[in-house]
Amino acid sequence: MKTSNEIESCNYCIYKKLLFDSLNDKEYQEVNNSRTEHIYSRGEIIRKEGDPINSFLYLRSGLIKLYKTNKSGKDHILSINKPGDFISLLSIFSNSVYKYSITAIEETKVCEVELQSLQKVIVSNSAFALRVLNRMSNVSDDIIESQFEIRQRQVKGRIAYFLLFLADRIYHGREFRLPITRREIGELISMTTENTIRTLSEFRKDGIISMDGKIITILDYDRMQSISKTG
């Protein structure tokens, strides 16, 4: 992890509109003065389940995964998040430690604001508080939603759902580089690595996707959607 010496201005940050718009100058200074920026490279752990929470984190650029590790040491990915999503969940108000681990799956820039400063501003500015809550609850709701969608499908449908998630919500295009390994896809959709690979290969053989290592192109979008719905 690298901490930037020169802090970037928030003027062009997506969070400017999403969040900080409702702050007055003094409040903004309070937040900004306690704000630091950190850059994590692919694979670096940002926070571990059980780490103490003493700051509020949001993702400025890059991509992260939220996951939990079970007693056997197996990871289960809860969600993949992009800029605009919060990293900190609501636990920052209730739990003293992180309930989930967070790892960068691409080079990722994270903004960190000390919890004390955030709380000060939240108490004084209820419009801001509402926005923070709003965003945080979205993260939880999205996790619950996607788990709901995953659990009612079988392998093919799960893979299709995941590929469409990447195409539509993350990369906004039909060709992209898989940000995670095939093992991790398995950890996300609750399947073994082998079956994940087998299903991707089937999609390739059936002409639904083309695949070159991690580069995936969705060739038949309609069929993919149909598999995601029915599978």
Partner DNA sequence: CGCGGCTTTGATGTTCATCAAGTAAAGTGG
Partner DNA sequence: CCACTTTACTTGATGAACATCAAAGCCGCG
Closest CA to 95 of 149, 50, 37, 158: 50
Interacting residues with DNA between 166 and 225 (CB under 7 A): 178, 181-183, 190-195, 197-198, 200-201, 211, 213-214
Q: Which residue has the tokens 């083309």?
A: 210
CB of 31 to its own copies, least distance (A): 17
> Is residue 206 a contact partner of residue 196, using CB atoms and an 8 Å limit?
no
CB of 129 to its own copies, least distance (A): 7
The length of the chain is: 231
CB of 21 to its own copies, least distance (A): 17
What's the gap between Cα 200 and its chain centre? 23
> What radius of gyration, in Å, describes the C-alpha atoms of the chain?
19
Work out whether strand 209-212 and strand 75-81 pair parallel, antiparallel, or are unpaired: unpaired
Q: Which residues bind its own copies (CB under 8 A)?
A: 68, 70-71, 74, 76, 78, 89-91, 93-95, 99, 122-123, 126, 129-130, 133-134, 136-138, 140-141, 143-145, 147-148, 151-152, 190, 229
**Alpha-carbon gap, residue 42 to 192, rounded angstroms:** 23
Closer CB to its own copies, 76 or 82, in the complex: 76
Q: Render the burial of 129-150: b for 16+ CB within 10 Å, e for the rest.
A: bebbeebbeebeeebeebeeeb
CB of 58 to its own copies, least distance (A): 17
Closer CB to its own copies, 7 or 123, in the complex: 123
| Contact partner at residue 94 from DNA, its own copies, none, CB < 5 to 8 Å by partner kind | its own copies
Interacting residues with DNA between 55 and 84 (CB under 7 A): none
| Contact partner at residue 133 from its own copies, DNA, none, CB < 5 to 8 Å by partner kind | its own copies
| Contact partner at residue 136 from DNA, its own copies, none, CB < 5 to 8 Å by partner kind | its own copies
Burial zone of 126 (CB within 10 Å; 0-12 exposed, 13-18 middle, 19+ buried): exposed
Closer CB to its own copies, 5 or 152, in the complex: 152
Q: Which of 156, 168, 223, 226 binds DNA (CB under 7 A)?
A: 156
Closest CA to 132 of 18, 31, 37: 18
| Contact partner at residue 155 from DNA, its own copies, none, CB < 5 to 8 Å by partner kind | DNA
CB of 30 to DNA, least distance (A): 40
